[in-house]
Structure 1
Amino acid sequence: MNYVPINNVLIDKIAGEWGLKPKDNSGVKVIRTANFTNLGVIDFSNVVLRQVEPKKIKRKKLVSGDVIIEKSGGSPTQPVGRVVYFENPGDSTYLCNNFATVLRPDKSIIYPKYLFYVLFYNHLTRKTIPFQNKTTGIINLKLDDYLNSVIPLPSINDQIRIATILTRVEALIAKRKESIEALEGLLKSTFMEMFGDPLRNERGWETVYIKDLCNKVIDCPHNTPKYSNIFTGFYCIRSSDIQKGYLEFNSTLQVDVATFKQRNVRHIPSYNDIVFTREGGRLGNSARVPQNVNICLGQRIMLFNVDNNIATSEFFWAMLNSNSLQRCINNLASGGAAPRVNIKDVINIKCCLPPLPLQEHFAKIVKKIDSLKERFSQSLAELENLYGSLSQRAFKGEIDLSKVPVIYEWEVEEIGMTGVDDMGLETRVEFTEQDLIELVKKYSGRIFSFEELWKEIGTLPNKKIPMRKEVQDQLIDLLESSNGDFEQVFEILSSQVSRSDSEKQIAFRGKYEN
């Protein structure tokens, strides 16, 4: 495996441009670091318009295949140096802002998507940290120094193969995330279809206060617990542990057994209790307590113990997460930058009470969706681990790339993939000049185009697909070395006869004897 400085594979580095605020809706589209996602994808949904001088636009406009690197930003938990891959979604002109720099790859040396993936992996594995410094609260990337660091540089064909593998896994990850999001949307739409707006109560059901649906409503102790620095199995739930309606225990802090008991004097949280954030930027977030887990309440958290004789926990939880309840809670909040609601205000919200059998039917739907979401989440974790493992092995030269075809344009299909060996790809050998001669012999006695030849090369079994330029060079060598057996002609191709705009095209004629 060869290693070269990043600078050596670039034909240009283009500083970003911010320009001026436009006076109207005119201007050029500018990609900010706020448009960077942590998956290396650009979020085009909120790209801003800026007024920039035409000559700067001409010099700095992005082209598909550019890699944009963040040079200012980052945080204590996220290094600066994120990268995104630019692929123009239409025919608009785009620039990047002055917190980023465009890296334009030399396509004769490096495959653009490969450059993106190797720099994305560098950031993912925190290799940009030695190249960052902090000034006035902003973390900056020492870009010149970073671009002098080295990256692995296999052959162009192997770069394409690596990009093919990672793109396929990346597509699977994106599809799995879309599936999870679709389940979340299905849950909300099912709730609305079955119960309607729980505050407006269009169905005319009985109305009650939230407190009437609960056996207990528990507020958290108003002090910060002493956290344990060893695993205890006793989790202390904070607002950051409630994510999209579910408890996430990846970074949940733990306490010792004495603290756990002390914080749960009034009630030990149990299966299907509801934890709720009543203060801070995550105000209104709620989640059900899962089975077989020991938790206590951190600050800013309250708990609802639902009376299952009149309401299911699933209905109560989905109601709290409904748009109308969320709006109501936000309207009740005070505190400005640190919004909070009083427990008394929350428990006195008036809502509908649908028939219990209907709630129980909804609870069954929730359990099915939970089961699917758990499976999809497990699959997502496995795919993300696979992506990391494949990246590491690919950039160390530890993958047998002979099993991966060179694909320039492809549609990613959702394949069952647990490793490179499971891609169902057969071993292929190099396409040689002799293979080219054998193909040309098939056309002996008639005229054919390069495109016809190129398409047939793509269908050859057990052959690695060569670079298009490589085949063109081989044809030139063949023309120069042939003794009249192979020649270039200018003819109207048979495939064009029916076209009204037919004109003579460069074509070839083989005279080989079979």
Structure 2
Amino acid sequence: MMIDVKEGWEVKKLGEICEFGNGLWTGKKPPFQKVGVIRNTNFTKDGKLDDTDIVYLEVEKSQFLKRKLRYGDIILEKSGGGPKQPVGRVIFFDKEQGDFSFSNFTSIIRIVNSEKVDFSYLHRFLFFSYISGATEKMQSHSTGIRNLKFDDYKDINIPLPPLPEQQRIVSILDEAFAAIAQAKANAKKNLKNAKELFESYLQGVFEGKGEGWEEKTLKEISLEFARGKSKHRPRGDASLLDGEYPLIQTGDVSNSDHWINSHSQTYNEKGLAQSKLWPKGTVCIAIVGSNVAETAILNFEACFPDSVIGIVVNPKKANNEYVDYLLQFFKAYLKEKGKGTARDNINLATFEFQKFPFPNVETQIQIVSRFNLLSTETQKLESIYKKKIADLEELKKSLLEKAFKGELGTQVTAVKVIEHPAKIATISAKELQAGIVAFALQRHLEQNKANTFKHVKAEKIVHLVEQVLNIDLDRNPVKDAAGPNDFPHAKRVEFRAQKAGYFYVKKGDNGYEYTAGSEIQSVISKTEIALHAKVDKLTWLVDLLVPMNTQQAEIVATVYAAWNNLLLDKKFVDDEAIVTEARENWHPDKLKIERSKFFNAITWMKSNGLIPKGTGKRVLAKPAK
């Protein structure tokens, strides 16, 4: 690996600045001593020591004394690895107490002169060498194990600035990496939440069965329910393969997402003669090994062996996509039923008396349509978070490369924090606002408060949701008589909602009234998927506002907006200043409301944690007509 070295820096071979030691063997001569032994399994992807499962062994004392780890030692993986994990990982030993050594699959790297080389700096450089792929070229293969070419590794060029600069670089990298680690943890949590949210919808449907649902076995809803065929032994005989008939294995089922769209093997005519060609649309269930209970649907004609069950559904009784989603929900249950033998497996007998919930076919198709929509939105979210995690890893590499070229400044902003307002990437702002209104309408209906949910209250809820959840709904709110409003945008949202059947708005005797449409649940589900981690906060906020009448909601939203304006303008804030901004400085109509109600609103907001942070859009004065 070639790195352009900054003027004034030295370059030394790793072998010139360090000494090395081979790993520990337990030995056979007493006396023995119990010590913790660091193994390959204790290496993390981030180059840190995972001490959760350190093994403790009785080892020959004389062997251990020569190989006792010290704080600041670097442990190198010299044997092991695999196709997706090359050998050459490094970790930093950060323990100051206890007796620890390292296994014979690892080696120790110990700095000779700590006044010239900082061990954290060296560890960071060797870690960079690994993740950038430089050490991958230094490995050899033997009997399936990868071994590091040690002489090549010792010849790695180490760029060495003066010791204070090494320590400064380490300090900057530590701060940046901590921010990256937190951002990755958040992205992984959001990814997990997105997956769990879809699973919760499956649960809601299949456990909250509606009227007219029946319990049936899979055989009862099938035209054919049987295991695949592969009569020839051995199954992988080359004489059966490389023809025109797709061959599906359990791994193909497991690696598919709802539909099987690809295959890695094919049968020829001889292979087909000892198997069976299943039609497109067949639901496949893997029934053995690590893939047991995984399911997917054939998107082409294909053969599969008896390690897979095929279901050709009766279209008068079931929908194949419904059956696949149903089996996805019951996967954990079926996996559990397959335990208890040397190799996990289920079979036709597993399903003989097992009944599943089935509504009529029309309802099944409606449920599938909803699940497909939610699945698409979930996959978009997963794609976003996976890309974010990958981008953060690339950022880490970039920072390391700059560090060892001497290009780090005095400060590094590792992760850009996006302040409100932030767009939700998987849903349009108009669709999201329609979903928020639909969600609020449903909460009002559930709590028998629909008579309080009119135009003004709906717009106040939307404003508060946009602010509190840190999202951008493309609104441009102004100081209106009824509080912070963007009614032109609300009208466009209502038009979209009514056209899609989410909800309807009609002028009544006491203002504009909302009624639920046939597709209200679909937009609510789509919104909850898009907001995922923010759904709990949305529920909390809307439920705070449901009991309020129109004026109460208007006052709270106005106070929140006025308070937030003061914070944005960096003005002095106390209760009197907030009330003056929300009443006297807002709109003439606000003077009709007693000041005490504004003070009461502030007290209520503080007690419920509804406090602005001085972020987001400033609510401006309404332009003169």
**Bin for the TM-score computed over the shorter chain:** 0.5 to 0.7
The answer as to whether partners of 2:283 and 2:324 remain within 8 angstroms in 1 is no
Q: 1:77 to 1:376 in 2, by over 3 A?
A: closer
What is aligned with 1:483? none
CA distances 1:58-79 after superposition (whole Å, capped 9, x unpaired): 6645455543221121335543
Q: Which amino acid aligns with 1:276?
A: I
- Cα distance in 1 for residues equivalent to 2:156 and 2:259: 37
What is aligned with 1:212? 220
- Cα distance in 1 for residues equivalent to 2:379 and 2:287: 26
Q: In the alignment, does 2:84 pair up with 1:72? A: no
What is aligned with 2:354? 350
- Cα distance in 1 for residues equivalent to 2:41 and 2:224: 43
Q: Write out aligned runs for 1:347-426 (5 A).
A: 347-348=351-352, 350-353=354-357, 368=374, 371-372=377-378, 374-388=380-394, 391=397, 394-395=400-401, 401-403=407-409, 405=411, 415=417
Structure 1 residue 391 displacement after superposition: 1.7
Structure 1 residue 355 displacement after superposition: 6.2
The answer as to whether partners of 2:75 and 2:109 remain within 8 angstroms in 1 is yes
Q: In the alignment, does 2:294 pair up with 1:286? A: yes
Structure 1 residue 131 displacement after superposition: 3.1
Q: In the alignment, does 2:183 pair up with 1:172? A: yes
Q: Write out aligned runs for 1:94-493 (5 A).
A: 94-105=100-111, 108-110=115-117, 112-153=119-160, 155-156=165-166, 157-158=168-169, 160-162=171-173, 164-166=175-177, 168-184=179-195, 207-214=215-222, 216-217=224-225, 222=230, 238-241=249-252, 246=257, 253=264, 265-269=277-281, 274-279=283-288, 281-288=289-296, 300-304=307-311, 312-313=322-323, 315-322=325-332, 324-331=333-340, 341-342=346-347, 344-348=348-352, 350-353=354-357, 368=374, 371-372=377-378, 374-388=380-394, 391=397, 394-395=400-401, 401-403=407-409, 405=411, 415=417
- Cα distance in 1 for residues equivalent to 2:388 and 2:409: 22
CA distances 1:489-509 after superposition (whole Å, capped 9, x unpaired): xxxxxxxxxxxxxxxxxxxxx
The answer as to whether partners of 1:166 and 1:391 remain within 8 angstroms in 2 is no
Question: Which of 1 and 2 has higher RCO (CA within 8 Å, sep 6+)?
Answer: 1
- Cα distance in 2 for residues equivalent to 1:239 and 1:393: 42
The answer as to whether partners of 1:71 and 1:80 remain within 8 angstroms in 2 is yes
What is aligned with 2:581? none
Structure 1 residue 350 displacement after superposition: 1.2
What is aligned with 1:84? 91
- Cα distance in 1 for residues equivalent to 2:262 and 2:122: 32
What is aligned with 1:36? 43
- Cα distance in 2 for residues equivalent to 1:397 and 1:295: 55
- Cα distance in 1 for residues equivalent to 2:202 and 2:399: 45
Structure 1 residue 305 displacement after superposition: 5.4
SS of residue in 2 equivalent to 1:98: coil
- Cα distance in 1 for residues equivalent to 2:151 and 2:406: 34
Q: Which amino acid aligns with 2:191?
A: I
Structure 1 residue 253 displacement after superposition: 3.8
SS of residue in 2 equivalent to 1:267: coil
Unaligned ranges ≥5, structure 1? 199-204, 418-514
SS of residue in 2 equivalent to 1:180: helix
Q: 1:340 to 1:208 in 2, by over 3 A?
A: same
Q: 1:171 to 1:152 in 2, by over 3 A?
A: farther
The answer as to whether partners of 1:213 and 1:307 remain within 8 angstroms in 2 is yes
The answer as to whether partners of 1:42 and 1:84 remain within 8 angstroms in 2 is yes
Name the TM-score, length of structure 2 as normaliser: 0.47
RMSD: 5.3
Q: 1:397 to 1:363 in 2, by over 3 A?
A: same
- Cα distance in 1 for residues equivalent to 2:329 and 2:138: 48
Q: 1:36 to 1:359 in 2, by over 3 A?
A: farther
- Cα distance in 2 for residues equivalent to 1:395 and 1:402: 9
Q: Which amino acid aligns with 1:96?
A: F
Q: Write out aligned runs for 1:490-501 (5 A).
A: none
- Cα distance in 2 for residues equivalent to 1:248 and 1:404: 52
- Cα distance in 1 for residues equivalent to 2:399 and 2:365: 50
The answer as to whether partners of 2:247 and 2:303 remain within 8 angstroms in 1 is yes
Residues matched between the structures, number: 384
Larger Rg: 2
Q: 1:398 to 1:84 in 2, by over 3 A?
A: closer
- Cα distance in 2 for residues equivalent to 1:248 and 1:68: 45
Q: 1:237 to 1:113 in 2, by over 3 A?
A: farther
What is aligned with 1:7? 15
Name the TM-score, length of structure 1 as normaliser: 0.56
The answer as to whether partners of 2:78 and 2:88 remain within 8 angstroms in 1 is yes
Q: 1:72 to 1:400 in 2, by over 3 A?
A: closer
SS of residue in 2 equivalent to 1:179: helix
What is aligned with 2:497? none
SS of residue in 2 equivalent to 1:282: helix
Judge which range, 240-249 or 153-162, deviates more. 240-249
Structure 1 residue 326 displacement after superposition: 0.5
Q: 1:115 to 1:316 in 2, by over 3 A?
A: farther
Q: Which amino acid aligns with 1:395?
A: E
The answer as to whether partners of 1:114 and 1:163 remain within 8 angstroms in 2 is no
Q: Which amino acid aligns with 1:330?
A: K
Unaligned ranges ≥5, structure 2? 6-10, 420-625
Structure 1 residue 316 displacement after superposition: 1.8
- Cα distance in 1 for residues equivalent to 2:39 and 2:204: 39
The answer as to whether partners of 2:278 and 2:302 remain within 8 angstroms in 1 is no
The answer as to whether partners of 1:161 and 1:401 remain within 8 angstroms in 2 is no
Structure 1 residue 405 displacement after superposition: 1.9
Q: 1:235 to 1:206 in 2, by over 3 A?
A: same
The answer as to whether partners of 2:218 and 2:225 remain within 8 angstroms in 1 is no
> Higher helix proportion, which one?
2
SS of residue in 1 equivalent to 2:291: coil
Structure 1 residue 284 displacement after superposition: 0.7
Structure 1 residue 207 displacement after superposition: 4.9
Structure 1 residue 100 displacement after superposition: 1.1
- Cα distance in 1 for residues equivalent to 2:114 and 2:359: 65
Q: 1:386 to 1:130 in 2, by over 3 A?
A: same
Structure 1 residue 401 displacement after superposition: 4.1
